[in-house]
Amino acid sequence: MSRRDITLAALALAATSAALYGLHYAIFRNAHHIFIYLLGDLAFLPLQVLFVTVIVDRLLSSREQRSRQYKMQMVIGAFFSAVGQPLLKLMGGLVANCAEVSAGLCVGPQWTEKDLREAVSFLARTELRVDPEPNSLAAVRDLLASHRDFLLGLLENPTLLEHETFTDLLWAIFHLEEELLARQSLEGLPEPDLKHLATDAKRAFSALLSQWLQYMIHLHRDYPYLFSFAARMNPLRPDARAEVVA
């Protein structure tokens, strides 16, 4: 609604109120009665504003925000099911200190939220040493290229507009894909170019790991049965398997 429409609506409502008060006086000829009720209505107005704008509006906004958060997490879950999980496994092969990273992020079904938050801290203080091995880079390139339409669809999803960290992850992934596709061959690249690709891969993998841990925290808190399956299928665990063994 434009400012002009709001002004016209306000004038129309004020005119209607004045007309009704005029009709009341024309029928009952009692201005004293009109002013008594007018003053009572004005006295209650601050409480009405408090109740409607502060309490009810905040409750509705909080409920709407929770609804958006759940929808957002559903979209993020679809990303990890389709692309994120296999991408984690492939990009793990690019990390020289993969054993160290896997040991700190070996999320299992028995993990608590405290364990997950400690893993977030571990990731923040751990340097990923990326080794841009051509075969591993080619596998990452092929995976991303095969899911390009799906990833583009995620960027167009309005639900994700407020999720800046996930949007940054998508941009990092798209940039890495474009860099890899722009080269005719990943074999025999000069050392400076390999370092450049290592930087791009590190950026994408770091964002992917961070977002994955946040998603696992969400599952642990709200969907324990989904967390159990995601933890059993953790691509960073060498013993990952769908079967429940304990």
Give the pair of three-digit tokens for residue 121.
Answer: 């801290």
Position 244 confidence tier, pLDDT thresholds 50, 70, 90:
confident
CB 178, CB 210: distance < 8 Å: no
- Report in angstroms the alpha-carbon separations of 107 from 110, 128, 132, 162: 8, 18, 26, 27
Position 40 confidence tier, pLDDT thresholds 50, 70, 90:
low
Tell the residue number behind the tokens 């000829």, with chain if given. 29
- Report in angstroms the alpha-carbon separations of 200 from 102, 146, 157, 170: 20, 19, 25, 13
The pTM score is 0.74
Indicate the domain borders of the chain.
Answer: 3-59, 65-232
- With vertex at residue 139, the alpha carbon angle to CA 121 and CA 79, rounded to the nearest 5 degrees, is 55
| CB atoms inside a 10 Å sphere around CB 92 | 18
Q: Which of 119, 115, 110, 114 is nearest to 228 (CA)?
A: 110
Q: Which of 68, 104, 129 is nearest to 213 (CA)?
A: 104
> What proportion of the chain, given as a percentage, has pLDDT over 90?
48
| CB atoms inside a 10 Å sphere around CB 126 | 15
pLDDT digits (tens, 9 = 90+) for 195-233: 999 999 999 999 999 999 999 999 999 999 999 999 999
CATH value of 65-232 in 3.30.70, 3.90.1150, 1.20.1690, 1.20.120: 1.20.120
CA count, 13 A, side-chain hemisphere, 124: 8
pLDDT digits (tens, 9 = 90+) for 124-150: 999 999 988 899 999 999 999 999 999
Q: What is the pLDDT of residue 157?
A: 82
Higher pLDDT, 240 or 130: 130
Q: Which sign, positive or negative, has the C-alpha torsion 159, 164, 165, 170? A: positive
CA 205, chain centre distance (Å): 17
